[in-house]
Structure 1
């Protein structure tokens, strides 16, 4: 017996494509959020160090 094609893969594509797209969107949002938090923390550290310098002058 010769198997010509396996159509289960073709039937699974409509289920996996939206799931992969959703995972991609979640990853992008998480990466942007972490970068934003890092920028905010760096800015806060910079502001604190400048205020400490002014106190010593």
Structure 2
């Protein structure tokens, strides 16, 4: 590779090769966040149902 005088190389091929390593990591983070959000919503829903016994009586009828 030839570098010209006055030209700053900001990224080389090694930086481009590292990009595919970040995509799966971001996908894993997204899946973990989605599961955590879903779990918290379900927990909140269960707590609301336990706190309101009248709503359970109406559902059983």
- Relative to the length of structure 1, the TM-score reads 0.72
The whole-number CA distance in structure 2 between the counterparts of 1:4 and 1:33 is 43
Residue matched to 1:17: 23
The alignment yields a C-alpha RMSD, in angstroms, of: 1.7
Q: In structure 2, which of residues 4, 12, 36 is the aligned counterpart of residue 6 of structure 1?
A: 12
For structure 2, the 5+ residue unaligned runs are: 55-61
Choose between structure 1 and 2: higher helix proportion.
1
For structure 1, the 5+ residue unaligned runs are: 51-57
The whole-number CA distance in structure 1 between the counterparts of 2:27 and 2:47 is 31
- Relative to the length of structure 2, the TM-score reads 0.67
Structure scoring higher RCO (CA < 8 A, sep ≥ 6) equals: 2
**How many residues end up aligned between the 2 structures?**
48
